[in-house]
Chain A
Amino acid sequence: MRRGAAARLLSHVMLVGTIVALGMLAHEAFAQTAPLGALRQAPTGGLFGWLLSKQALFYRELSGLIRAAKTDGSAVWGLIGISFIYGIFHAAGPGHGKAVISSYLLANQETWRRGIALSFASALLQAITAVVVVAIVAILIGATAKAMGDTVRVIEVISYALIVLVGARLLWVKGRAFAYTWRAIPADNGSEMAHALDGHVPCTHHDHAADQPLHAHDHDHHAHPHGYGHDHSDDASVLPWGHAHGPEPQELAGPGGWRRGLSAIVAVGLRPCSGAIIVLVFALAQGLFWAGVASTFVMGVGTAITVAAIATLAVGAKTVANRIAATRAGCGTLVLRGVEVGAAIVVTLFGVLLLTGTIASERMGMF
């Protein structure tokens, strides 16, 4: 029974979590459309205020260090160090794919290892695009900052469109899995009425039923008429979900999974960080482009660490939730599938809001 209570609490928490996430996203969308200068709201404080103040300080350090590197080679080490720390802090701001990557991982049955790989790959790609954009626009073409901004905007649109596509695909796959689970639940037996009289919703009842073939009968619901002798059709072997893991659609585990992982990497990593572009152009103006390139890649490593940490947390939460859901096959699994759908919705919405300019990821100053 305690386990049952835990699972029910978990379901509620996860549902609430998903709703809160969606709500916050909606709030963001709403708030962003508020007239400029109309609000004077509560200041950012605490952790984010602190992160913010730190990253600003480190960013301001970069220009001095690049300048110093012109005459003093050893300043490069300082530059590398500050770039690294800046990357770690900076990734706490928007535009580095934390939300998309973590939601993607939540929606999928991904391992933490893959979460880390995704984070590093997308951060690396982000560094590469920054260097390539500056190399082509500034060095090869010698175009102006406006051209640079326009180029970034085109890349941005492609990247956001990709996020929408990745989200839509997830939504399709996860939505089907959810529908499948949903349909499977009331189909397991015909005694729903009796349990409805017990005050059990079908989902809860189902949990009890599904529990029994899998575990020792350690809960004390003596009032229930069914027991081991009961003929259940929802044995683990025939359920669409397994004991430990929901059997994801085949393609997720196979090579196709990597390809879709790649689409997430590209979607997130394509848009270069504005800060990296500015640092690169500044380094170029100082005649030390390579120092900018080094700084950009080290920044990328720092960014990846933050994103990977958050991604790992997401995967960890999902794994634990999975484990619990597995002990409560019916409702738990349904809630898990629901969370996956929720995460898929978050990815899609994020892409749409970014694409429509409702929320801004980053801006290149004032061009």
Chain B
Amino acid sequence: MARRIGVLIATTVGLLAAPSLADAHPHVWVTMTEEFVYAPDGSVTGVRHAWTFDDMFSAYATQGLEQKTKGQFTREELEPLAKVNVESLKEYAYFTYAKVNGKRRRDAFLDPVDYYPDYDPKETVLTLHFTLPFKAPVKAKALDVEIYDPEFFIDFGFADKDPARLVGAPAQCAVAVEKPRDDFFSASVRLDKSMAWEANVGTGANFANRISVTCP
């Protein structure tokens, strides 16, 4: 009897606490195409993001914006949105994390430049373009950039085609992309580590998308 109650209570407590801990709740999906921009001396000067939002969030994001032609947005019409977007992204460190030669580099980036949104009326999706310049250009054997939302309210995923490119890189540099998941969900989920509270912050990190550049 007591054991049964114990189980009942433990289950209740678990159910109460666990979902709020597994903060996994995306409402926004982003398809990314990434470019690493190189200086002539072979150092990486910045990361150029192109993030395409899912159609529902695109509709939400463009809500209330003035438009001359229904269903279309010019770059001027989208300008206020770009500003808001880029400013709020600062709070989340642009969801972009860099590792140089295997060591995480905090505050690696300056404020974004060359930002503009772009609306595809056919697909009814919004794409946000922006470039994050490195504070100090990176010349390293190994550079990893991870893009994810640690709280997993935004589900980032690479584009199927050409998800990452090097622009102006030395010939010996190679880029590789690690997709830790299938369509919507991590393929790297390990069922042996399923305790919900182990996966709190960093939940999003489990869905991290990594671009690795090696220049031997």
Look across to chain A and name the residue whose beta carbon is closest to the beta carbon of B201. A31
For residue A203, which residues in chain B have a CB less than 8 angstroms away from its CB?
none
Q: Given A48-B19, A94-B20, A285-B63: A363 and B2 within 8 A (CB)?
A: no
In the complex, are the beta carbons of A53 and B184 less than 8 A apart?
Answer: yes
A321 is an interface residue with CB less than 8 A from chain B: yes
Chain A 142-174 interface mask (CB, 8 Å, partner B; 1/0) = 111111100000000000000000000000000
For residue B186, which residues in chain A have a CB less than 8 angstroms away from its CB?
43-44, 49
A9 is an interface residue with CB less than 8 A from chain B: yes
Alpha-carbon separation in the docked complex, A325 to B156 (Å): 50
In the complex, are the beta carbons of B188 and A43 less than 8 A apart?
Answer: yes
In the complex, are the beta carbons of A278 and B57 less than 8 A apart?
Answer: yes
A128 is an interface residue with CB less than 8 A from chain B: no
In the complex, are the beta carbons of B64 and A102 less than 8 A apart?
Answer: no
A92 is an interface residue with CB less than 8 A from chain B: yes
Q: Which of A2-24 contact B (CB under 8 A)?
A: 5-7, 9-10, 13-14, 17-18, 20-21, 24
Give the most central of B12, B18, B54: most A CB within 10 Å: B12
Q: Given A40-B205, A274-B27: A317 and B57 within 8 A (CB)?
A: no
Which among B92, B97, B196 is the interface contact of A366 at CB below 8 angstroms? Answer: B92
B158 is an interface residue with CB less than 8 A from chain A: no
B17 is an interface residue with CB less than 8 A from chain A: yes
Alpha-carbon separation in the docked complex, A275 to B29 (Å): 12
For the complex formed, measure the closest distance between the CB of B78 and the CB atoms of chain A, giving whole angstroms. 11
Look across to chain B and name the residue whose beta carbon is closest to the beta carbon of A102. B16
In the complex, are the beta carbons of A44 and B22 less than 8 A apart?
Answer: yes
For residue A274, which residues in chain B have a CB less than 8 angstroms away from its CB?
27, 153
In the complex, are the beta carbons of A41 and B6 less than 8 A apart?
Answer: no
A135 is an interface residue with CB less than 8 A from chain B: no
For residue A269, which residues in chain B have a CB less than 8 angstroms away from its CB?
none
For the complex formed, measure the closest distance between the CB of B119 and the CB atoms of chain A, giving whole angstroms. 12
Which among A17, A90, A145 is the interface contact of B62 at CB below 8 angstroms? Answer: A145
For the complex formed, measure the closest distance between the CB of A115 and the CB atoms of chain B, giving whole angstroms. 12
With an 8 Å Cβ cutoff, the count of chain A residues facing the other chain is 86
Alpha-carbon separation in the docked complex, A21 to B60 (Å): 37
B143 is an interface residue with CB less than 8 A from chain A: no
In the complex, are the beta carbons of A37 and B205 less than 8 A apart?
Answer: yes
For the complex formed, measure the closest distance between the CB of B65 and the CB atoms of chain A, giving whole angstroms. 6
For residue A93, which residues in chain B have a CB less than 8 angstroms away from its CB?
19, 22-25
For the complex formed, measure the closest distance between the CB of B81 and the CB atoms of chain A, giving whole angstroms. 8
Q: Which of A252-283 contact B (CB under 8 A)?
A: 274-275, 277-279, 281-282
Of the stretches A55-63, A186-194, A209-217, the one at the interface is A55-63
Alpha-carbon separation in the docked complex, A13 to B2 (Å): 9
In the complex, are the beta carbons of B189 and A43 less than 8 A apart?
Answer: yes
In the complex, are the beta carbons of A32 and B200 less than 8 A apart?
Answer: yes
B122 is an interface residue with CB less than 8 A from chain A: no
Look across to chain A and name the residue whose beta carbon is closest to the beta carbon of B55. A63
Q: Which 9 residue pairs are nearest across A and B when measured between Cβ atoms? A: A46-B194, A39-B202, A41-B202, A42-B193, A93-B25, A45-B194, A144-B64, A53-B185, A6-B2
B interface with A by C-beta (< 8 Å) = 1-3, 5-6, 8-13, 15-29, 54-57, 59-65, 80-81, 84-85, 88-89, 92-93, 97, 104, 106, 146, 148, 150-151, 153-155, 184-186, 188-203, 205-206, 208
What are 23 contact pairs spanning A and B, CB under 8 A?
A9-B2, A28-B21, A28-B197, A37-B205, A41-B199, A42-B206, A45-B192, A45-B193, A52-B24, A56-B26, A56-B185, A62-B56, A93-B23, A94-B20, A145-B63, A148-B64, A284-B63, A285-B59, A320-B8, A362-B25, A363-B151, A366-B92, A366-B154
